[in-house]
Structure 1
Amino acid sequence: MATVQFGKETSKRGEFVRQANRFTDRITADGSSGWQAAPGKYRLVVSLACPWAHRAVIVRGLLGLEDAISLAVVDPVRDEKGWRFTLDENDRDPVLDIEYLSEAYLRADPTFEGRVTVPSIVDVESGNVVTNDYPQITLDLSTEWREFHRPGAPDLYPEALRQEIDEVIEPIFQNVNNGVYRCGFASSQEAYEDAYDALFAELDRLSARLSNQRYLVGDKITEADIRLFTTLVRFDAVYHGHFKCNREKLAEMPVLWAYARDLFQTPGFGDTVDFDHIKRHYYYTHDAINPTRIVPKGPDLSRWHTPHGRG
Structure 2
Amino acid sequence: MTIRIKGDLGTEKEIFDILVQVARCDPLLTTGRYYADWKVNYAGSKPAAAAAAMLHDLCNNDWSIVIFGYPSDANCPDGTPIISIGGGTAVGRDIELYFDAYDAFYQGYIVDGAQGGTISIPPPVLMVHELSHVYHTVHTMAGKTQMDEEIQAIVVENAFRGQVGLPARKSDSHWGAPGVPSRPSPPFPYCIAPYQGWNCGCHIATAAIGAPSARSIVEFQRAVKEFETWTVGETPLLRPLLDAYQLFGPLVAADVRADPVLRADMLRDVVRPAHQLLRVVRVCLDTPPEDPRVAAEIAHAVTTYRVA
Shorter-chain TM-score bucket reads under 0.3
Larger radius of gyration: 2
TM-score by length of 2: 0.27
Q: Larger % of strand: which?
A: 2
